[in-house]
Amino acid sequence: MSNTDIVKRFSKAFFEKNLEIVKELVAENYRFKGPMMEMNSGEELIGFIETMPMEATEISSTYIEQGNQVIKICNFDFTTPPIGPQDMCEIFTIEDGKILKSQLFYDTAPFPKPKEAA
């Protein structure tokens, strides 16, 4: 399985909330950084997916693979909350057949802001 195949399989499992496949594809010490949040383990990722406050359909994607990195340039249609189409770019690093880290880039303006801790 190529690194691009791993990312494609992960992306599908993420939005289908297929936790078994996500666990299979993500390293235990997985790290994620995005404009609105960070995660520091595979378990944090699983917890986020279980309570994910959004639903989206992938409209289109382009993948660029070089060495152990895959860049995914995509467009999603977010239906919950009602955000609409959104362009995103995510850079994945793969090691030993597992996603070690990813960094996501997108415009945060259409998304609801996280609630501040009381």
How far apart CA 83 and CA 117 sit, in angstroms, is: 24
Please report how many Cα atoms fall inside a 13 Å half-sphere around the Cα of residue 37, on the Cβ side: 13
How high is the pLDDT of residue 82?
Answer: 74
Give the up-direction half-sphere exposure of residue 54: CA atoms within 13 A in the CB hemisphere: 21
Runs of H (alpha helix) within the chain: 3-16, 19-25, 42-50
pLDDT by residue, tens only, the chain of 118 residues? 999 999 999 999 998 999 999 999 999 999 999 999 999 999 999 999 999 888 888 899 999 999 999 999 999 998 877 788 999 999 999 999 999 999 999 998 888 776 654 4
CATH architecture of the domain covering 3-106: Roll (3.10)
Sequence ranges of the domains in the chain: 3-106
